[in-house]
Structure formats: C-alpha cells, structure tokens
Chain A
C-alpha cells in the first residue's frame, strides 16, 4: 500500500513536470502555431543550467556554483529564454515544417554539445548530486504542483488577453495580422521565448526531482515526442487540455511500463518499442474521433458590452 502511494507521488511529480513542458509548447504551437519539435533542447538547457548553478563546486564540469534552488530555477528559465532568442531570431522567416526541421536540428545540436563538452557538462557521465528544495517526496510534489498552478494561471490569463488574441490571430493568418498593424515577428519571438523559458523551468524541476541529469534523458522520445502527443491528445490551444493530455499520456506510458516490466527479460526491449506504438495508436484514435483533442480550444465568452 505504501509503495503504491510512493508510486503515486512519483507519478504525479513526473506528470506535473511534463505538464509544464506541455504548457510551454501550447503557448508556441497551440496559440501561435509555431511548429517547435525541438522541445528537448530547451528542456535540457533548463535542466543542465539549474544543475550547474546549484551543485557544489567540482572539477568534473563548469561550476558548480552551489547557489540556492530559486536561483537555479531563474537561471534555467533565463538560459532557455536566451537560447530561444537566438533560435527565434535565426529562424524568424521559417514557418511550419521548415521551422520544425530547424528546431529538431537545434535540439540535436544541444544534445551533442551536452554529450561532448565535458568541461561544461561532464559529457555522457552527466551531473549527479543535484539537491532538492525539500527533502520529502510529497514536499517536492507540492513544489512542482505549485509551479504548475502558477504557470497555468499566468498563461491562461495571457491567453485571454489581447496579447494572446494577437498570437491566435497569427496562428490563423499572418498577413491579416500585419494588415492590422501588428509587428508579427516581434509577437512570434515573444511567444517562442516565453514558451521556451517555461520549458526551461520544466527542465530545472526535472533536474532537481531526478537528482541527476545526463544527455540520455533529453532524446527525442522523452524530450519532445511525449510532450507533443500529450498536447495534441489533450487539445492544443487549450491549457486545460495540455494538463489533461499530459495526465492521460503519462497514465498510459507508466501503466504500460508496469505491464511490460513483468515480462520475461528477453521481451522487455521489444515491449519498449510496443509502448511507443501504443502511444502512437492512441494518438491516431484520438485524432480520428476527436480531431481537436480531448478538450478542444475554448471559444472566448464575450458577453454584451458591460457584462462579464
């Protein structure tokens, strides 16, 4: 019973971290229509930045600077945001699949840098001993959920604001937004940077939860694919959908892991591939029967003047 509870806490913490990543992606894809399939890159930069800032000094990688947890979080968001400024500026003219290819390339470059620049990241050996802000598992869950709530509220407010309206308009038709006097490039850059900074936050929380980061964790499957599936399944454009989709996909993903881990050893590897297939099939079914996701984008409630 106790182990089940422990598992529940572990599960919800992971879900919370991925929910933050999905909210960041929703800002980029769901609101603005930016096809970023390099989520893993910004996720990784956040995780490593916080790890480097908060671990004690060592010869095996840059720093560590032994700074407190909040500084690590802030630095992670800043670092991911800064990378996003560079990437966003460099890819300013790219749309749809072109942006997708560019971002996937950037995520891979980041992963290879993490793998090979030993002085910075300790290479494939990774960075161990990342401290937690609170000792207990439940306490950490509370911290993660508090961040989920904060990000959700801020992003939801932004979605309903004129700022979010311009982003959704950009998703629908850039020419008309230009004709409406908005600086489309500037808004697109903002969405990209803010979304990426949120992914950096998710990365930092992941680092502190896991206690260890290595390039392995930020491959395309865990770093990008699952987050995209969660958002699409949940309902892109809808922040509640991003949260709900993450929960559904993590239930499937962890649930199938519990099942496959009971198989004889020789089948476990194949079963891993089957899990990815299962997620793919679930996504197909959702797209066929609920093309806009489980919770489609909400239409804003606009009453008569003076109401609300």
Chain B
C-alpha cells in the first residue's frame, strides 16, 4: 500500500528521521512504536505531505507521491489524524465532520449563489453521512456541541470520525489512545478493528500503549533514533534484544519514560 523508501529528515542538525524504510501492507493494521523522539510523528508528517523529506521516496499504491501536498494525498485515499487533536473549536462536532467530504459543489462560491437547490440536496446527504459516523462513534449526545467543549477522548474520536467521512484507503493514526480513558479506549480499538474488517481500511498506528498495539497490530515496526530497528509480529518484536534495549527498558530510566 505504502512504501517508505530510505526517507531522511534533518532539523537543524538533529536527524529526526535517518534513512527509514518500511512498508505499510494493504488491509493490515501496522503498529509503529519506539521511544519518544524516535521520529515516528515526523515520518507521519512526511508520508502525509505535511513536511518535505530531505531525501528518500514515498510510494502510495506504486505511485511516487513524495512531496505532494496533503490535500492531493487525501484525494488519493491517504488520511491522517493528529497526536494532539486538531478540532475546529468554534464549530459544532457535526460541522467538523461535514467539512471533510471531497467535491462538495457548495465549496464553489458561485455554486452557492447560482445552484442553491443542488447545494442544499448535497448538504443533506453530507449531514446524513456525518450523523452515521457520529452514531458509529456513539457521540450522538454531543453532535451539536462546539468541538472546543468536547472532552479529550471525544476529540480523539472526532479525529477518527474525520477519517470515516471519506472513502479512505489508508489511515495514519498518531497516538489515538493517548489521554483516552480505558472504557473509551476499548471503544476506540473496536472502531478501528471494525473499520479495518468491515470497510477494508489499511491502518498505520503510532501508539505508546502496548495494550492497544498488542490487541490491534500485526505487523509492528519499531523505530529508534530515526531508523527502523526491527519489524515483525508483536511476539517477534518483544523478543528482540535491540528493542528491549531501546524501548522496553534496557535501563530503569527508559522504563519510566515509555512503559504505559
């Protein structure tokens, strides 16, 4: 689905991503783990077109999409969420979702003036779709609340909801579980699994919560210092010396930082 080929990105001397290569396989839920500062989010930003890599290529379904802007990649079926929810605070939850669908004719100014009937009809369909997504995420009771007033966990669900407003092929989730309580987290995992099974979404998930990774992801890719350390099933990854060292706690300090 996605091939990341020898991608590097330096920020004023810091090698955030350093010759990183791996694949996100179609129809799978790939986990991406690694200590803080391993370059996971930077890699997501590169893949989704938010920042430009210094070197290397990103292929999406065999096409070189390196350096394409986010909106183009979106139209190719690549959608991402953010580690820190990026909601439209002074807009309602349902409006937040209704922004997403592509090709709304009401997004053309002249059409809003000259084709009001058509715009209104499309708008009804978009709203129904948003209602569906809100029901799926069980957020009906806050559908007309301003997104800025939602709880942290609800905002995380909103992030996931955005990806459901379009026919995504591959979804990059950046720490969907961070700051979400256990009950909601179980619901979130369930949503991800259902999207994968029922709608065929391919996922790549950055997550520090090993529970989430173990429950959902196969394969798992481990990054450290901008590189891929190893990849494979969770069991394989767990037994890897280098991973134990870098991540699961070669020392007490590392354990304190990163084990959930």
Cα of A158 to Cα of B166 in the assembled complex, Å: 23
The closest CB in chain B to the CB of A183 belongs to: B71
Instruction: List A200-228 residues whose CB lies under 8 Å from chain B.
Output: none
Assess A172 versus B88: contact at CB under 8 Å? Given A178-B50, A181-B74.
yes
A93 at the interface (CB under 8 A from B): no
Assess A158 versus B82: contact at CB under 8 Å? Given A165-B99, A297-B90, A305-B124.
no
Instruction: Let me know if B94 and A302 touch, CB within 8 A.
Output: yes
Cα of A163 to Cα of B116 in the assembled complex, Å: 12
Instruction: List A134-176 residues whose CB lies under 8 Å from chain B.
Output: 154, 157-158, 161-166, 168-169, 172-173, 175-176
Over the window 88-114 of chain A, the binary record of Cβ atoms lying under 8 Å from chain B Cβ atoms (1 yes, 0 no) is 000000000000000000000000000
Chain B nearest CB, measured from A95 CB (Å): 16
Contacts of B71 on A, CB cut-off 8 Å?
Answer: 178, 181-184
The closest CB in chain A to the CB of B124 belongs to: A305
Which of B48, B75, B106 is within 8 Å of A161, CB to CB? B106
Which of B89, B102, B109, B162 is within 8 Å of A158, CB to CB? B109
Q: What interface size band does chain B fall in?
A: 35 or more
Contacts of A308 on B, CB cut-off 8 Å?
Answer: 124
A180 at the interface (CB under 8 A from B): yes
Contacts of B70 on A, CB cut-off 8 Å?
Answer: 178-179, 181
Over the window 121-132 of chain B, the binary record of Cβ atoms lying under 8 Å from chain A Cβ atoms (1 yes, 0 no) is 011101110010
In the complex, how many residues of chain A place their beta carbon closer than 8 angstroms to a beta carbon of chain B?
Answer: 33
The closest CB in chain B to the CB of A297 belongs to: B90
Contacts of A175 on B, CB cut-off 8 Å?
Answer: 50, 82, 86
Instruction: Let me know if A181 and B92 touch, CB within 8 A.
Output: no
Instruction: Let me know if A157 and B116 touch, CB within 8 A.
Output: yes
Assess A300 versus B95: contact at CB under 8 Å? Given A158-B109, A178-B70, A181-B100.
yes
Assess A305 versus B128: contact at CB under 8 Å? Given A162-B106, A179-B82, A181-B71.
yes
Instruction: Let me know if B98 and A157 touch, CB within 8 A.
Output: no
A177 at the interface (CB under 8 A from B): yes
Cα of A173 to Cα of B126 in the assembled complex, Å: 21
Contacts of A154 on B, CB cut-off 8 Å?
Answer: 113
A260 at the interface (CB under 8 A from B): no
The closest CB in chain A to the CB of B120 belongs to: A308
Contacts of B98 on A, CB cut-off 8 Å?
Answer: 162, 165
The closest CB in chain B to the CB of A176 belongs to: B86
Contacts of A163 on B, CB cut-off 8 Å?
Answer: 106-109, 112
Assess A161 versus B112: contact at CB under 8 Å? Given A178-B70, A181-B71.
yes
Instruction: Let me know if B131 and A305 touch, CB within 8 A.
Output: yes
Assess A172 versus B109: contact at CB under 8 Å? Given A161-B119, A180-B100.
no
Contacts of A169 on B, CB cut-off 8 Å?
Answer: 88, 91, 96, 99
Cα of A183 to Cα of B88 in the assembled complex, Å: 17
Contacts of B79 on A, CB cut-off 8 Å?
Answer: 179, 181
Assess A180 versus B87: contact at CB under 8 Å? Given A161-B106, A306-B124.
no
Cα of A299 to Cα of B131 in the assembled complex, Å: 18
Assess A179 versus B91: contact at CB under 8 Å? Given A158-B109, A162-B104, A162-B106.
no
Chain B nearest CB, measured from A291 CB (Å): 13
The closest CB in chain B to the CB of A158 belongs to: B112
Cα of A168 to Cα of B166 in the assembled complex, Å: 20
Which of B81, B100, B144 is within 8 Å of A302, CB to CB? B144
List A residues at the B interface (Cβ < 8 Å). Answer: 154, 157-158, 161-166, 168-169, 172-173, 175-184, 190, 194, 297, 299-300, 302, 304-306, 308
Could you jot down 12 A-B contacts, CB within 8 Å? Answer: A161-B112, A162-B106, A162-B107, A162-B122, A163-B107, A168-B90, A169-B99, A178-B70, A180-B99, A181-B74, A194-B109, A302-B127
